[in-house]
Amino acid sequence: MAFKIRGTYYLFLFLIFFLSGVPLALSQKFTVGVKAGATISTSWFGDKDDKALFTNSWKPGFFAAGLVNFPLKKSFSFQTEAGFSQRGRKVKFNEGTWVNSANYHYLDGSMMLRKSYPLRWTKNISGTWFFNVGPKVSYWLNGKGSVYTLTENIDPVSGAVTIEKGYSYPYKVKFEKEPEIPDSPDFNTMYLKDVNRWLFGLDFGVGVDAPTTSLQRFVFEARFTWGHTFYGNRGSAFNRTLGFSDNLRANEKILSFSVDYTLNRDLRDSKKGKSTQKDVKKAKPRKEIDSLIR
């Protein structure tokens, strides 16, 4: 079963890289750019019993990427993106008295099929609004985080209840099985075994663009990522702290907000430049011959 799953992932990656090159071969015009933005992410557990034992909260993060967009027919376009992101999960356990706050780092790639519609900003400035959808793949690089307790305090006068952060310790992620007999009490290591470092999902986005010149523009987009791959299994996470508990049989849900800066390019311009240079080189000997004859 593991071989079949890995084979499917590798086939999916091959299709991403293969299909991303098709529009470039078919289109003379394209747009290049960079994008950056903020994310908030959470995780959804795969089983109802797990949802009763753990509570998820939203976790802030960020990302940056490069992009290439290829125009197609009927106001459609195809966009590929590749970049880096930090996102994570914040999970309460032990009846909400402990918190595991984790930050994970990823390499990301996505393909988006986009449909655009005309939008007029002012009388002389027009842009577009769009929606897009496509697959997303992330490779889990590393991670770190902290585990801390929550203490409930009751004011003796007013009776107001406040929740304060108590005992806390940091940790770093290692993608390996925990050692049976550790050389030292490595409480600051989170061991992750049998995890899926390739995470797959589906992106849905909507946005607008605002041109600054005929070739340059800013793009503002809100996107939702529906993750399909579980981080791992129920027993994938291990930490030596007494009372620690986690469950990686959960997938990602991500909201992101980005700003893109893009620049339009045309392959025909470069071809014209090369052909002009060739014409000049060919014409130069002719001029020398004419001067000798005269």
| Res 120: pLDDT | 84
**Which residues of the chain carry a pLDDT beneath 70?**
1-28, 182-184, 266-294
| Res 198: pLDDT | 94
Measure CA of the first residue to CA of the last residue in the chain; give whole Å. Answer: 84
| Res 272: pLDDT | 54
CATH of the domain spanning 2-140+194-264, picked from 3.40.50.720, 3.30.565.10, 2.40.160.20, 3.30.470.10: 2.40.160.20
How do residues 50-73 score in pLDDT, each as one tens digit? 888 899 999 999 999 999 999 999
Please count the CA atoms within 13 angstroms of the CA of 258 that sit on its side-chain side. 27
Cα dihedral value 223, 229, 233, 234, nearest 10:
40
Tokens of 222: 């809100």
Please count the CA atoms within 13 angstroms of the CA of 78 that sit on its side-chain side. 15
How do residues 150-178 score in pLDDT, each as one tens digit? 887 777 777 777 778 888 999 999 999 98
> What are the structural domain ranges in the chain?
2-140+194-264
| Res 200: pLDDT | 95
